[in-house]
């Protein structure tokens, strides 16, 4: 009887420790991806606004929008060695305190929230892949749940 209970306890411990290591590795970036994954930018505004995103070499892209805006940055527009910045501002420049002038920006990469800001203007940053990967491994980026 004792031998059977001991075997059962060992089997349970092995199963539990195997599950826990699987959970840890599921959150790590894979070598197969190795920086080839871009990211998703999004912005909201109470009215008309402008989204300006740029890389750290100074290349700018602009988009004027009303209420919501989204863009996936991949391919020719994406270099994993560069940092990117998204700035969102009301078009009319009205930051007098009217709630309709509030804007927000959000960056998501591999289902992880990278940055999320709001206010009279908002700026979000996307670190270069190597920096992002290290921060992900350190547990800095939560899963996006919505």
Q: How far apart are CA 62 and CA 143, in angstroms?
A: 28
Q: What is the pLDDT of residues 35-58, one digit of tens each?
A: 668 999 999 999 999 999 999 998
Mean pLDDT of 61-79: 93
Q: What is the pLDDT of residues 80-133, one digit of tens each?
A: 999 999 999 999 755 555 556 799 999 999 999 999 999 999 999 999 999 999
Q: How far apart are CA 114 and CA 65, in angstroms?
A: 22
145 closest CA partner among 117, 116, 115, 112: 112
Q: Say if residue 16's pLDDT is above 80.
A: no
Q: CA dist 8 to 13, 14, 20, 21, Å?
A: 9, 10, 19, 20
């Amino acid at each position: 009887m004792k031998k059977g209970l001991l075997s059962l306890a060992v089997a349970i411990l092995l199963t539990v420790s195997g599950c826990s290591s699987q959970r840890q590795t599921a959150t790590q970036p894979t070598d197969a991806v190795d920086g080839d994954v871009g990211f998703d930018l999004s912005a909201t505004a109470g009215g008309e606004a402008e989204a300006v995103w740029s890389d750290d070499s100074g290349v700018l892209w602009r988009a004027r929008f009303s209420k919501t805006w989204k863009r996936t940055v991949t391919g020719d527009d994406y270099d994993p060695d560069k940092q990117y910045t998204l700035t969102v501002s009301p078009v009319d420049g009205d930051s007098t305190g009217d709630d309709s002038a509030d804007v927000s920006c959000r960056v998501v990469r591999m289902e992880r929230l990278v940055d999320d800001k709001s206010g009279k203007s908002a700026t979000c940053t996307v670190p270069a892949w190597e920096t992002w990967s290290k921060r992900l491994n350190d547990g800095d980026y939560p899963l996006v749940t919505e």
